[in-house]
Amino acid sequence: MATRNIKYIVIHCTATDPQTKVEAIQNYWRNNLGWKSPGYHYIIQADGTVLQLADE
C-alpha cells in the first residue's frame, strides 16, 4: 500500500444537535447530498466517543 504525507488535519463541526444520531447524519449525506462515502473520517459524539467512519 502506498503511503502519503498528510499536511493538514481539519476539525469541522456538523452543526447538528449534539444528540443527533450518527446514522441520521450519514443518511443525510447519502439521501440529501448524494454522497457515496462519509463526509468525515471520524465523528466525536457528545459523550466523547470517537467513531471512525472512513479509512484514513
Kindly report, residue by residue over 3-50, the tens digit of the pLDDT: 888 899 889 888 899 899 999 999 999 999 999 999 899 999 999 999
Q: How far apart are CA 6 and CA 24, in angstroms?
A: 29
Range of the domain at 30: 22-52
| Residue 30 φ then ψ, to 5° | -70, -55
Q: How far apart are CA 53 and CA 20, in angstroms?
A: 16
Residue 5, domain member (yes or no)? no
Coil/strand/helix, residue 10:
coil
Residue 8, domain member (yes or no)? no
Q: What pLDDT is attached to residue 4?
A: 84
Q: What pLDDT is attached to residue 2?
A: 81
Residue 41, domain member (yes or no)? yes
Residue 11, domain member (yes or no)? no
Residue 14, domain member (yes or no)? no
Residue 3, domain member (yes or no)? no
> Into how many domains does the chain fold?
1
Q: What pLDDT is attached to residue 53?
A: 94
